[in-house]
Structure 1
C-alpha cells in the first residue's frame, strides 16, 4: 500500500527540546524573514529540518499548512530520502546541494501536486550538513527559480554560523592566552584546529574519537607523534609529547580463532570486516584511498561509501591510530602475519613453525586477503618441506591446512616407529 504521508518520528511534547538544542534555532527568525514573505505571497510554506530530514520548524499560510498536514509536511515528520523517496528535503540532504523537485519527480504519488526547492546548510565548525531549508507548495505556485532564493538563504545561514564560530574561537583564544599555559594546539569541541599549529602539520581537523572527555587521553597525530588531549573550556587542548612512545597496535590474525587487536593496553574486539581493513592497511604502509580499499575488499562490486562508514566506526575504536587522505596506520604495528613474512625472508624453518598458527583471516573472502593468505600458505609449506625438522613439520600438521596435508603426513609417517608422531600421521593418512 502506498504511503500517504511522511512518518511522524517526534512526539509533539519532545520537539521543543529538540529545537532548543539544535544549532539552527537562533537562525530560524532570519530564515523566516528571508523566505516566509515569499512563501506567504505565493501560498507556499517554508520548512527547516535537521540534518536527517526531520521537520523542526515551518512558516506559511494557514490554508497551505493545513494541506501540508495531510502529507506530513509538518513538525516532527521525517522526510529523509530513505523514508519517503525523492523529495525536496531528503534528496537535497542526500546529494548535499540545492535541488528543485517537480511534481511527478516525487516517489510518493500523493506528492504529485507539490513541488519543492531545498538547500542544505553545512556547519562550518564540524563540516557536517546540519539541516535543510525548503520552500514547498502546490506546483502551479512554485517557480523552479525558487531554488536559487532558497540556496541564497542557506548560504546566509552558513555565514551567520561562521561568524558565531569565529566569535567562539576568539573567546577560546583569549581565555587560553590569559592562562599563559605551555605550548599546545587549541581545538574546538569538534576537533577543528584553532591555533598552535602554524605549519599546518595537523591539517584543518583532528579526529578526536571516543571517549573525548577523558583527561590526559593519549592520541597519535598524523606524523606518528603522541599528544595528550585535555578538555579546555568549550574545546580541547592538545599538548604534544615528543618524548612519549607511541603505543603499538598488535594484530593477531593467523589461525582459526577470531581476529583480535590490542591497542593502548586494551584488547579490542574486531569484526571480520574491520580485521580485513586493518590487515590491508598493515600490508600497505603508505596508505590506501577509499576506492583502493573498496576494490581490495570487494573487487569490482565495491562501494567506497561503505568503506568510509566502516573506517569511521573503526576510528571510533582506535582513534588517531588511523589517519585519512589516504587511509593509513600512524602507529607502530606488531602483526603475526607480518612477523611470519620476516621469518620467511630469513628462511628460518624453526622460527617459522612457531610463528605460523594457521591461515590469515580464514573466513575472509576479500580478493586481496585471499591472495595474501594463499601466498603465505604456499611459502610456509614449501619452506618446511625443504628444510623443516620433524618438530617443524609436526607443528604445521596441527594447523587447519596441515592436518590433512598428504606430503607433510608422509614425511612424518616415515619417522621411526617408536615416535608417536609417526603413528598419528599414518592414522591420518588412512582415515
Structure 2
C-alpha cells in the first residue's frame, strides 16, 4: 500500500471511486494497477451497483469443467497449503479456470456463506469484464499476483472484502490455466497474503512441470521400444521429445490435424500421426506445400489464399501476417507485440491471436519464433520487387493502394509510407500517362495534384482522362 494509514487510504479511494464512475478527473487516486483496472472494467460496461457475480455454469456444466480441468489433481495441494490458514483466519480459498469462473472453494463456513451473497461461489464468473476490479479478474488480466483491498474493488458490495490472487500458467503450453485466490474481510486479510498465494501458484506450476516431465519420459520409453523410429516424437501439445537430433523441427511445432501436412525447416514435408497419447511427425511423400498468398494492398478487405481456399482476414490477423512476411526469420510474441502496439503491447494478446490464426491457416505459421513456413506470395512484396526492377508499367498495375490503410501498427505504417513514397516517385519519374492514370485511381493518387497535373499536361485535351484530371484539380 502507498498509505500506512489504511483509513486514510480508504477515504481517498472513496473519493477517487466517485470521480472514476462519473468520468471526472481525480487529482489523487488509487495506485496505478487499480486505476488501470477501473478503466478496463468501466469500458467493459461494469455497473458499480452490481449485486453479485453472474452464474456461468449449470451444475452439470460445473461438474464437467472440474472433471476435465488440468488443475483438478492439484486441488488437494491447494487445500493442504492454504486451507488450514484460511479456516483459522476466517478466509476462503478459491480456484478458477482461465476465464475466472470458480471451480472449487474451501475455507471458513461463515465466510463462505457471506461469499455466497456476492457470488464468490462455485460456478460464478469473476473476470474483470464480468465483475470489475477484483483479485481474480485483475490477476488474470495482468498475469501477475495481485492484492485488491476493500474500496479498490470497483463494485460497491465488494468493499467489505479484500483478496490476494495469482494466475497459474501451464509450463507445457505457456497458457494460463486458472487463478488461485484467498479472500476475506478487508480488516482480516493482510496484503502480505499475496506473497503466500503467489508462492503456492509457483509450487503448483512446479508440480505441473514434474508431471509433464514424467509423462514425456513415458512417451520416450514407448518410442524407444519401437524396432524402427521413422519419425519425430511430439508431446500432445507439439513439443519435440525425441527423434530430431538435428533440430529440424525446433522445440515445438504447430499441430495440424492428424494426417495434416506441414513444412519442416529443411524444406521437407511431414505428416502428423497419432502415437500413444502424443504424435509422430513422419516424412511425407514429396509434394509441394500450398502457397500462402496475401492481398493486403488497397481499400478492399485483406485476404489470404492458401492453396484453393480464400480466407478473409481481420485487420489484426492481416497485420500479423504482414509483419511475419517482413521478418522471414521470425519474431517472438514480445517483438510482434511491440511492432503492433508499441510500448503498450501485451504479448499474451498476441499469443491468443496467433493461436486463432494458426487454426485458420494450418501448417503455415511456425513457433519459437513465430514465422511463416509455407511458400509466400504477397502483393506488397511484389511491389517491392517491381520497384527494385524499375518497371513502372507493371508497378502501376500491381499497386491498388496503400498497405493496410486502417492499420495503426508503427511498423506497418512505416512500411506503408515508404512504399507509397517510392511508388509515387517511380511513376512520376518514369511512368507513362497510362501508368499515372492507373495510379490516380488509388485512394492516394486520386487527389494527388502533381500526378493529376502531369496527366492533364501529357494527354490530348480530347482524352477523357485529361478531362477527368482537370475536373479533379478544379474540384480540389
- Please indicate the TM-score interval, normalised by the length of the shorter structure: 0.7 to 0.9
Q: How does 1:318-329 map to 2 (within 5 A)?
A: 318-324=361-367, 326-329=369-372
Q: How does 1:27-426 map to 2 (within 5 A)?
A: 27-200=74-247, 202-208=249-255, 212=256, 214-221=257-264, 225-240=268-283, 244-288=287-331, 293=336, 296-297=339-340, 306-324=349-367, 326-364=369-407, 366=409, 368-389=411-432, 392=435, 395-396=438-439, 399=442, 405-410=451-456, 413-414=459-460, 422-426=463-467
C-alpha separation between the residues in 2 aligned to 1:363 and 1:122?
A: 34
Contact 1:192–1:204 (CA under 8 A) maintained in structure 2:
yes
TM-score when scaled to structure 1?
0.82
Q: Deviations over 1:212-241 (max 9, x none)?
A: 4x3321223456653222232322222245
Which residue pairs with 2:73 in the alignment? 26
Distance 1:389 1:56, change over 3 A: closer
Distance 1:256 1:39, change over 3 A: closer
Contact 1:225–1:242 (CA under 8 A) maintained in structure 2:
no
Contact 1:224–1:331 (CA under 8 A) maintained in structure 2:
no
C-alpha separation between the residues in 2 aligned to 1:380 and 1:30?
A: 63
Cα RMSD between the aligned structures? 3.5
Q: Deviations over 1:382-414 (max 9, x none)?
A: 444544456545555555555664234325523
C-alpha separation between the residues in 1 aligned to 2:414 and 2:206?
A: 51
Structure 1: 5+ residue stretches without partners: none
Distance 1:56 1:279, change over 3 A: closer
C-alpha separation between the residues in 1 aligned to 2:342 and 2:182?
A: 42
Which residue pairs with 1:429 in the alignment? 470
Work out the number of aligned pairs and report it: 422
Q: Deviations over 1:145-179 (max 9, x none)?
A: 54454445434433443343334323333333344
Structure 2: 5+ residue stretches without partners: 1-47
- Post-superposition offset of 1:242: 9.5
Contact 2:259–2:271 (CA under 8 A) maintained in structure 1:
yes
Distance 1:386 1:262, change over 3 A: same
Q: Deviations over 1:35-91 (max 9, x none)?
A: 323333333222222222211112233322212211222111122233333433333
